[in-house]
Structure 1
Amino acid sequence: MVATILVGMLCAHLLCFAVMFLLISKRLHGKTMGMDFFAVGNLLLGLAYVLQLLEGGPAWSVMSVVNHTFTLASPVVFWLGAMRFFGHAVPLWRPLLAVVVAYTSLQVLVQWSLGPVARYAMLSGMSALLFLVMASTVVYGVRTFAKDLYAEMVFFAALISGISVLNAIKFLKLLQGGLVALQMDANFQLVFYIYMSFLATVLPPSIVWLVLRRLTDELRHQAARDPMTQLLNRRGLTDALKQHFNARHAGAAHLLLIDVDHFKHINDTYGHQAGDAVLCHVAQVLQATVRRGDLAGRIGGEEFAAICLDADAVGVVHLAERLRGAMERQAIPVDGSDQPLRCTITVGVSPAFVGAQALDGAMREADAALYRGKAAGRNRVEVALNPHDQALLAALNASAAQQTDAIG
């Protein structure tokens, strides 16, 4: 009686969450993150347990065959749903149909050749194997594609390992004691159904939590990025800089402000489409030039920024000169024009600063240097330094001149 109540509750949980997953997938408008797959998996498993209740015990019937097929197909669908969640465009119905046809045929073959015990043992053994592979995949994901979900993946691996172990024990009990091991109120079956009820209660909300976390992460990512160039915006630069300075042993940073020379003239002459192409080209060159770990962003209009972390002043000016030279050398194809477009940039470099709260001051100093560079003729790097840094300024100017000669 207790086992029957547990299985009934399990059916209710699975079928209700199947409907909930389906509704959530409809609200996600195309990017379902596997929620439609999880709905199908819950539906299959819920129907399998409904059929088990209707059967009343081990039997050889169409209902029993369908029950076993749905039971084995559900973890396959959950696995496919997990792949969809992590961005793999896997199909659902073709693999599911293949599993249904193959396992139904295998059940008939095993029943006729080895008997009912072998058929029930086959279901437990293959379920144990499937869940073991799933748990292993989750553990692998912790080290590779799901590093940002470390705690959640460890939790899932533990739960999936538990159901794998229980199915393995059921497999051994069937081999040793036959179908008696499947009696509804046997102690092991009670433990099995309690654990399955626990999973049906805990796992679906956990999956919803993962989807909500992924959605909020994407919203946070979009809020921190410029939509055209996918570089960091002002907010993204500030947040990333805070993370840098919150780390232990964080060194000083330098800010580079980059402005496209005569950008209004480019827009007026070639059109806004060409202007957009120039902005995207500057973004590509900027990303290719900054060092790994540095921050690159677009802070408005034709103005870009780079924050060089843990860099000395001479190295920062060398980087700014490489950026300026790369922009000067590279041509930008323009639709509707036989001649590629060439443009230059002016770069203002701030003094070293420490702490995210010092970014506004660095912005002002780099901006002042940028406008001095524009007043001096554009297509140049201008460095902002404190008055007592004249010796360093001379060294930086000499280094910049050497870099410019090398580029020429």
Structure 2
Amino acid sequence: MVATILVGMLCAHLLCFSVMFWLVSKRLHGNKMGMDIFAMGNLLLGFAYVLQLAEGGPAWSLVSAVNHTFTLAAPVAYWLGAMRFFGLPAPFWRPLLAVAVTYSAAQVLVQWSLGPVARYAMLSGMSALLFLAMVITVVHGVRTFAKDLYAEMVFFAVLISGICVLNALKFMKLVDGGLDALQMDGSFQLVFYIYMSSLATVLPPAIIWLVLRRLTDALRNLAARDPLTQLLNRRGLSEALQMYFNSRKAVPAYLLLVDIDHFKRINDTHGHQIGDAVLRHVAEVLRGAVRRGDLAGRIGGEEFLIVCLDSDLHGVRLLAERLRSAVERQAVHTTGGAHPLHCTVTMGVSNPFAGAHAFEGAMQEADAALYRGKAAGRNRIEWPQIAHGEPPTPIVGASTT
């Protein structure tokens, strides 16, 4: 009786949260973050438990076969939904239908050749393997695509490990004791249903929390980036610098102010659409040329900014020339343009600065150097008038003071 009540509560939780996930997915226009697939997973598992109640006990019937297929298809749906949540391309209907058809055929084969115990043991064993694969995926995600959700992923890994262990134990009990292990009010089944009911209560709100976390991060990222180039804006740069200089390994940084030469002439001659294409092109060149860990931003108009972290004067010199030559060398291909467009940039470099509070001072130094570079002919790198250490050696294609 107790187990039947637990399974009934489990059905209610799964089906109610299936509706909630579906409603959330309808609000997420474009990227649904896998919520529609999570809804399908809950729906499949909820109906599987409804069919189990209707079945009344272990037996070979159409209801039992559909119950087993739904039970195995549910974790597959959760797995595919999780992949979509993390932005990984994952088809849904084709693999889900392939699993359903294959497992249905396997049930018939095992039932006729090995009997009902083997069929129920197959479900527990396959479920244990699926959840083990999910745990491995989560652990891998903590180190790769889900680094920003470390605590949440560890939490999910622990919970999913519990389902994996319980299914593995059920498999062994079925092999040792036969169908008696599936008695509804047996101690093991009670523990199993209590754990599953707890998961059905805890996991759905946790998934909603992950969605809210991702939406909040997306809004924060949107507020910190320039919409045209997707580089950091002034706010994003300030926040990133604050985080960097608050770390124990922070060393003085250099600031490079980058200005597109004769950008007003480009806009006036070719139009604002071409001007925007030039801005996006320069942003892409800068993004590809800077080192990992450096900060790249657009601070307005045709002005860009690079902050070199963990570098010395020689490294900054090499980076600045790499950026300047890359912009000069790579043409801007525009739609409808008869010939590719070339542009150049002038850069002003600051003295090293050792804190977020010194950012504005470094900006002023780099801005003064930039204007000297413009006055000296453009397409050059201009260094601060008073630099710490030896000035860089002039190299081909660049100018220094």
Shorter-chain TM-score bucket reads: over 0.9
Secondary structure at 2:277 match in 1: helix
State the match for 2:296 in structure 1: 296
Work out the CA distance in 2 between the residues paired with 1:367 and 1:65.
73
- 2:159 maps to 1:149: no
CA contact (8 A) 2:321 2:398 kept: no
Work out the CA distance in 2 between the residues paired with 1:345 and 1:377.
11
State the match for 1:179 in structure 2: 179
- 2:3 maps to 1:3: yes
Secondary structure at 1:31 match in 2: coil
CA contact (8 A) 1:263 1:275 kept: yes
Work out the CA distance in 2 between the residues paired with 1:264 and 1:405.
23
State the match for 2:122 in structure 1: 122
Structure 1 vs Structure 2: percent identity of aligned residues?
73
State the match for 1:191 in structure 2: 191
Superposed displacement of residue 267, structure 1: 0.6
State the match for 1:109 in structure 2: 109
Work out the CA distance in 1 between the residues paired with 2:270 and 2:182.
78
Superposed displacement of residue 13, structure 1: 0.5
Cα pair distance change 1:39/1:263, threshold 3 Å: same
Q: How many pairs align?
A: 400
Superposed displacement of residue 59, structure 1: 2.0
Please say which of residues 148-157 and 36-45 is displaced more in the overlay.
Answer: 148-157
- 2:36 maps to 1:36: yes
CA contact (8 A) 1:73 1:99 kept: yes
Work out the CA distance in 1 between the residues paired with 2:298 and 2:176.
69
Superposed displacement of residue 364, structure 1: 1.9
Query: What amino acid sits opposite 2:51 in the alignment?
Result: L
State the match for 1:404 in structure 2: 397
Cα pair distance change 1:141/1:289, threshold 3 Å: closer
Query: What amino acid sits opposite 1:54 in the alignment?
Result: A
Query: What amino acid sits opposite 2:135 in the alignment?
Result: A
Query: What amino acid sits opposite 1:14 in the alignment?
Result: L
Work out the CA distance in 1 between the residues paired with 2:131 and 2:199.
13
State the match for 1:51 in structure 2: 51
Superposed displacement of residue 201, structure 1: 0.8
Work out the CA distance in 2 between the residues paired with 1:406 and 1:239.
32
Work out the CA distance in 2 between the residues paired with 1:63 and 1:336.
63
Query: What amino acid sits opposite 1:404 in the alignment?
Result: G
Superposed displacement of residue 37, structure 1: 0.8
Superposed displacement of residue 293, structure 1: 1.8
Work out the CA distance in 1 between the residues paired with 2:105 and 2:74.
17
CA contact (8 A) 1:285 1:323 kept: yes
Secondary structure at 1:346 match in 2: strand
Cα pair distance change 1:150/1:270, threshold 3 Å: same
Query: What amino acid sits opposite 1:192 in the alignment?
Result: F
CA contact (8 A) 1:3 1:189 kept: yes
Superposed displacement of residue 318, structure 1: 4.4
Work out the CA distance in 2 between the residues paired with 1:66 and 1:330.
60
CA contact (8 A) 2:382 2:399 kept: no
Q: Which whole-Å deviations, capped at 9, do the CAs of 1:182-231 have from their partners, x for residues lacking one?
A: 11111111101000011111111111111221222222222222222221
Query: What amino acid sits opposite 1:402 in the alignment?
Result: I
Work out the CA distance in 1 between the residues paired with 2:84 and 2:60.
36
Work out the CA distance in 2 between the residues paired with 1:133 and 1:286.
40
Work out the CA distance in 1 between the residues paired with 2:111 and 2:395.
83
Query: What amino acid sits opposite 2:357 in the alignment?
Result: Q
Work out the CA distance in 1 between the residues paired with 2:180 and 2:69.
21
RMSD across aligned positions (CA): 2.1
- 2:129 maps to 1:136: no
- 2:15 maps to 1:15: yes
Please say which of residues 270-279 and 283-292 is displaced more in the overlay.
Answer: 283-292
CA contact (8 A) 1:317 1:349 kept: no
State the match for 1:222 in structure 2: 222
Cα pair distance change 1:93/1:338, threshold 3 Å: closer
Cα pair distance change 1:335/1:171, threshold 3 Å: closer
Superposed displacement of residue 346, structure 1: 1.9
Query: What amino acid sits opposite 2:368 in the alignment?
Result: A
Superposed displacement of residue 314, structure 1: 4.7
State the match for 1:84 in structure 2: 84
Cα pair distance change 1:223/1:370, threshold 3 Å: same
Superposed displacement of residue 403, structure 1: 4.2
Cα pair distance change 1:233/1:188, threshold 3 Å: same
**Map 1:221-300 → 2, pairs under 5 A:** 221-300=221-300
Query: What amino acid sits opposite 2:10 in the alignment?
Result: L
Secondary structure at 2:395 match in 1: helix
Superposed displacement of residue 2, structure 1: 1.2
Work out the CA distance in 2 between the residues paired with 1:240 and 1:246.
10
Q: TM-score, length-normalised on structure 1? A: 0.92
Q: Which whole-Å deviations, capped at 9, do the CAs of 1:122-153 have from their partners, x for residues lacking one?
A: 21121112111211221222222222222222
Work out the CA distance in 2 between the residues paired with 1:405 and 1:264.
23
Q: Which whole-Å deviations, capped at 9, do the CAs of 1:291-345 have from their partners, x for residues lacking one?
A: 3321111111101111112333354344334433433344333444434333222
Secondary structure at 1:32 match in 2: coil
Deviation >6 Å, runs of 4+: none
Query: What amino acid sits opposite 1:160 in the alignment?
Result: I
CA contact (8 A) 1:138 1:153 kept: yes
Superposed displacement of residue 22, structure 1: 0.5
Secondary structure at 2:259 match in 1: strand
Work out the CA distance in 2 between the residues paired with 1:336 and 1:176.
74
Please say which of residues 326-335 and 274-283 is displaced more in the overlay.
Answer: 326-335
Query: What amino acid sits opposite 2:294 in the alignment?
Result: D
